[in-house]
Structure 1
Amino acid sequence: MSRMLRAGAIMAAGTMVSRVTGFVRTMVLAYAIGTAALGDSYNAAYAIPYSILDLLLLGVLSSVVVPMIVRAQQHDPDGGRAYEQRLLTLTTAVLVAVAVISVLAAPLLIDLYTDWAPGSPKFDTAVVLARFILPQLAFFGVGAVAGAILNTRDRYGAPMWAPVLNNVVVICAFVLYALVTEAGRDIDKVTTSGLALLGLGTTAGIVAQAAVLIVALRRVGFEFTPRFDLRNARLGEMGKAGVWTIGYVVITQLGFMLTTNLSSAAGDEVPGHGISPYTLAFQLFQLPYGVIGVSVITAMLPKMSRAVGEGRLDDVRTEFGASVRLICSLMVPVSLLLMVLGPAITVPIYGHGANSVADAVYIGNVLQVYGLALVPFSVFQLLLRVFYSFGDTRTPVFVGAGTTAVNALLMVVFYAMLPARYAVMGLALAYAVAYALGAVVAWTLASRRLQGLGGWAIGTALTRMYLSALPTAVLALAVVFVATQVFDGLGFLNSLIVLAVGGGLGLLLYLAVAHRMRIPEVNSIVGMVAGRVGR
């Protein structure tokens, strides 16, 4: 038990520090190059290696590769050592080849992911940046497999803390760029050496991350010997196990490609309203789910899987209902606060240096729309785990494909209907509507699988949570009104005051009202905090 608690503490601390340094990284990025033309070029080039990795590796890593490594460790005569070496050899060889091909094909990739005309400043700059950034493909993939091997050996420290080093290296590169170059956000003034600093600095972060993981592997006694006897690599078994996961990744990446094309076109018409605000707002939107939702899901899935295996469907329904209520007890007020306080959140983070306050406000406007998606997205992810608990990986692919298709259709419709200055906000709205509809479909299918999900009880609980959060939303709206009307807009200081009063006091007000309304999940949180304070 003490070992498990220690591992949990290491993972929690690493995740938190990684989140914090990740935010500092995006802040320094916005400060150094802004969210207009140069920022869009960087974010387009930066997104491509992650998309390729999703297609080739990361989508099947946790669902296929890790279980196969564990199986090899349990059943192979050498404890799976040869299998691990084959896997690392294959990954290294494939991703080095992919990295070389990607660098050579950088113009084609930028053309595929953006709407920019070849020869335009944005396009040419993105191509140069991509050629500096794409080599990280090989290092990122090797690091991912190394991290998977470490996890199977119950070594969680390096995989959780290595991304922190990555963030620190990239932060230093961005700061150095801001100090030594005079181009700032001006895409017409940036030099090749400046782009090299941005691109190679980004790649250096991934190299450092992979190096930490490789060193950690050696410390647990793993000796890497290249093995090319790939007949024993069980590729056929891996392909069969991961075919549905790969299908889901392909579908989502097609949707992402449409998103980058539409947002890049919007940024061409209205500078500062393109890929960068979409990317930065999405990162902020994902934070509450990453901190709250993922933790609950991580604990929920094993319990549900065991209950399914033992035929205890009532326990599955109970666990699902408790998880939904727990997550939503926090997501409901946070979603309303995002919808009200979006610009007040983004101005202190992004309204500095090469990025203007107006640019930061627009990022906040996009975040406000994303607030609509927070609860549906979280419930959608919980519902997918119902299918996974039954060992069903196919149904989530079909549900995800339908959600992505609806999202794509709505993105095109909203993009055609809205002026360019609101186009990226329309993309966020399409995301919210698509996941709301996807949650309805997933709920219907999961309810059939479990002969009911306790919808009435969950719906009643959510209604009470929203009623409890209404005073918080009203307070936040009042604070924003005073700040914008009396103090003439949301500057840095005004935004901090709005966050402290509207956000801080607003959440305390929600906890008080929900406690009075006897919402069990909130009572548990209040009781836990009161107990700690009373010690």
Structure 2
Amino acid sequence: MAAGTATSRLLGFARTTMLAAVIGLGVSADAFDVANTLPNNFYLLLAGGVLNAVLVPQITKAAKHDDGGQEFVNRLLTLSLLIIAAATIVVTALAPLLVRLFSQGWNSSALALGTAFAFICLPQIFFYGLYTVVGQVLNARGQFAAYMWAPAIANIVAILGLLWFGAVYADQPRVEQWDAGMVWVVAGTATLGVALQALVLLIPLHRSGFRLRPVFGFRGVGLRSASRVALWTFAALAVSQLGFIVTSKVLTRANDLMAAQGVTGAGKAAYSAAFLLFMLPHSLITLSLVTALFTRMSTAAHAGRTAEVVSDFGRGLRMPAVFLVPGTAAAILFGLPAVRLAFAGNTPEQAAAIAEVMIAMMVGVVPFGWVYLIQRVYYAYEDAKTPFYLQLVVSGVATAVNLYAFTVDPTKVGIVVGIGQTLSNLVAAGVGFVLLRRRLGLLRLRSTVRLYVRLGVATLVGAAVAIPARMLLERVVGDGVLGSAIELVAGGGLFLAVVLGVAHLMRVEEVAALLDPVTRRIRRRA
């Protein structure tokens, strides 16, 4: 799972860096970013979280049916895909209104460009839905790999489209320079990739023995509990998307103001690039682990085995921490050279703008994972009401900070938005732990707290060694592409070695399991 996710995310990262180099980070980039983000936003609002929260528990229970649950699951999938198809048609028709809703300060040319992109991108909603329903059936049947590998196809197709664009058209065109062919190359290949991402999953689904077919008649088949979960999940996502409208408006407004002033900072496209970097460790580590744990927790919850749920919850807190706690410090220390290297096709000022937002968000990557895990525990019990309350906390805090961002200098808006995201997840995680303690009883977090303390100490020692080393390296090798690569390899390698060594000396079991095979070989040879 992690290998598939890593490949997909790295290809997605390559796609984002190419996109930034080919169409820039200005208003044109914001126009495509708003349009290409709309399918994700509305898919999440209409079905994404609902399907994730509903399908796995329902499919797990359906396995007890005489036919292995095939008819029940097909009925559930038929209903889901009908809803998604109808919603896709309606949302696509509303493209002009949606572009206006998610932007601020654009002139008529920018609005026209964003709308053209949106008409081509919004059909992705249906294919995201198909990808999710088929993938969740595979997950519930214990087959996780294909679901994680499929997004690689979407990224490859989009990368090919950007290579085509770069070879035929001028780089970083202004809003008024776009024509229909340019729009179709960028947006059309993005949508084609998402369609192939979904359709390819039909192959492993068929091989698993499941036969996907339409089954109608939705009354009296036991979907009432699923409907209740879906309703609360929809409400939570609605709150999330209302908050994101504010985020999108404040960022597009900031980029428009910066374009008028001739200065560089983080707008919507830069924020999306930073968010992709932020999501990389979460997707590779936390998401892969929790996806597997969710099926286990759902099974244990249905059987009333609370101790197993608590055990898996603790595992979900501890295992990612070994990577994410030092990873947070590494992002702060080496975020700027990493972005300079990754976005080598952009100016140093553009790279710095992305890095600042990424660092502000990366500080909160650990509590972001906590909130995600806590929500999945409640979904395992088919309780979507509590995650709704947690989403209220997340969106409320983030929106309050985003509204404040309207008052700051445009070049600092992206940083303020990133800080708001970190703060919102930290507050929501604290509330979530309290609520989960009431639901499950003792959470047995003593060993988890010890692990975080030891990792924190090891990370501080590593940072104390790495900071002067990085400052020295930057003076010697400079801050160009080559210098940034040397900083990452030498400085990052030193930081990692010190953190792992100190954690090993402090008897962090997870690190010991990683290092013991190596140290045993060294001792034998010595």
Normalising to structure 2: TM-score of the pair?
0.88
Aligned 1:89-100 pairs, distance under 5 A = 89-100=78-89
Deviation per residue, 1:249-277 (Å, 9 max, x gap): 22222222221111111111224521111
Matched, 1:399 2:390: yes
Cα offset, 1:384, TM superposition: 3.8
Q: Which of 335, 354, 369 in structure 2 is aligned with 1:363?
A: 354
Cα offset, 1:362, TM superposition: 1.3
Verify: 1:113 aligned to 2:102, yes or no. Answer: yes
Aligned twin of 2:120: 132
Question: Is 2:43 the counterpart of 1:56?
Answer: no
1:511 equivalent to 2:500? Answer yes
Match of 2:23 in 1: 33
Which residue number corresponds to residue 328 of structure 1?
A: 321
Q: What displacement does 1:421 show? A: 0.3
| Greater Cα shift, 210-219 or 109-118 | 210-219
**Alignment partner, residue 141 of structure 1:** 129
Q: Choose 153-162 or 249-258, whichever is displaced more.
A: 153-162
CA contact (8 A) 1:116 1:123 kept: no
Alignment of 1:104 onto 2:104: no
In the aligned structure 2, how far is the partner of 1:52 from the partner of 1:525?
A: 41
Q: In structure 2, the residue corresponding to 1:359 is in which secondary structure?
A: helix
Residue range with higher mean Cα deviation, 28-37 or 476-485:
476-485
SS at match of 1:270: helix
Aligned with 1:214 (options 202, 210, 222): 202
Offset at residue 338 of structure 1 (A) = 0.7
Amino acid at match of 1:64: V
Given the alignment, which residue of 167, 172, 185 partners 1:197? 185
Answering whether residue 499 of structure 2 is matched by residue 492 of structure 1, we say no
| Higher mean C-alpha displacement, 464-473 vs 294-303 | 294-303
The Cα RMSD (Å) is 3.1
Q: Following the alignment from structure 1 to structure 2, what is the Cα–Cα distance between the partners of residues 323 and 226?
A: 36
Is the contact between residue 142 and residue 210 of structure 1 (CA under 8 Å) also seen in structure 2?
yes
Aligned residues with identical type, % of pairs = 31
Does the aligned pair in 2 maintain the 1:264–1:274 contact within 8 Å?
yes
The DSSP-based 3-state class of the residue aligned with 1:115 is coil
Is the 1:133–1:202 Cα contact (8 Å) retained in structure 2?
Answer: yes
Is 1:348 the counterpart of 2:338 in the alignment?
Answer: no
Tell me if the contact between 1:373 and 1:435 (Cα under 8 Å) persists in the aligned partners: yes
1:480 to 1:267, Cα distance in 2 relative to 1, 3 A: farther
Distance 2:46 2:385 in 1: 19
Distance 1:408 1:67 in 2: 32
Residues 79-478 of structure 1: pairs in structure 2 closer than 5 A? 80-117=69-106, 119=108, 121-156=109-144, 158-218=146-206, 226=214, 228-231=216-219, 236-271=224-259, 272-298=265-291, 300=293, 320-321=313-314, 323-352=316-345, 355-388=346-379, 392-413=383-404, 415-454=405-444, 458-478=448-468
1:372-400 deviation per Cα after TM superposition (whole angstroms, max 9, x unaligned): 11222233334445545655432222122
Contact 2:39 2:122 in 1 (8 A): yes
How many residue pairs get aligned? The number is 519
Residue identity matched to 2:8? S
1:328 touches 1:462 (CA, 8 Å); kept in 2? yes
Q: For 2:495 and 2:418, how far apart are their aligned partners in 1?
A: 25
Distance in 2 (CA, whole Å) between partners of 1:111 and 1:117 is: 8
Shift of 1:46: 0.7
Query: Any idea what SS the aligned residue of 2:104 has?
Result: coil
Gaps of 5+ in 2: 260-264
User: Aligned partner of 1:434: which letter?
Assistant: S
Deviation at 1:45, TM superposition (A): 0.5
**Which structure ranks higher in relative contact order (CA pairs < 8 Å, sequence separation ≥ 6)?**
2
What is the CA distance between 1:225 and its match in structure 2?
5.4
Matched AA of 2:37: A
Q: Write the letter of the residue equivalent to 2:100.
A: D
Q: Alpha carbons of 1:508 and 1:61: their partners in 2 closer, same or farther (altered >3 Å)?
A: same
Q: Partner letter of residue 400 of structure 1?
A: Q
Is the contact made by 1:174 and 1:198 (CA closer than 8 Å) also made in structure 2? Answer: yes
**One-letter amino acid matched to 2:485:** L
- 2-structure distance, mates of 1:227, 1:329: 46
Per-residue deviation, residues 452-491 of structure 1 (Å, max 9, x unmatched): 4456664454333222112322343324433554555x22
Distance (Å, rounded) in 2 between the aligned partners of 1:317 and 1:82: 33
Query: Within the alignment, does 1:521 sit opposite 2:510 as a pair?
Result: yes
Counterpart residue type for residue 364 of structure 2: A
**CA distance in structure 1 between the aligned counterparts of 2:449 and 2:226, rounded to whole angstroms:** 40
Amino acid at match of 1:468: A
* Matches of 1:452 and 1:201, distance apart in 2: 50
> 1:145 offset after TM fit, Å?
2.5
The answer to whether the Cα contact below 8 Å between 1:472 and 1:502 also exists between their aligned partners in 2 is no
Cα displacement string for residues 152-207 of structure 1 (whole angstroms, at most 9, x for unaligned residues): 55555543332221111111001101111125343332222101111111111022
Structure 2 distance, partners of 1:339, 1:104, is: 43
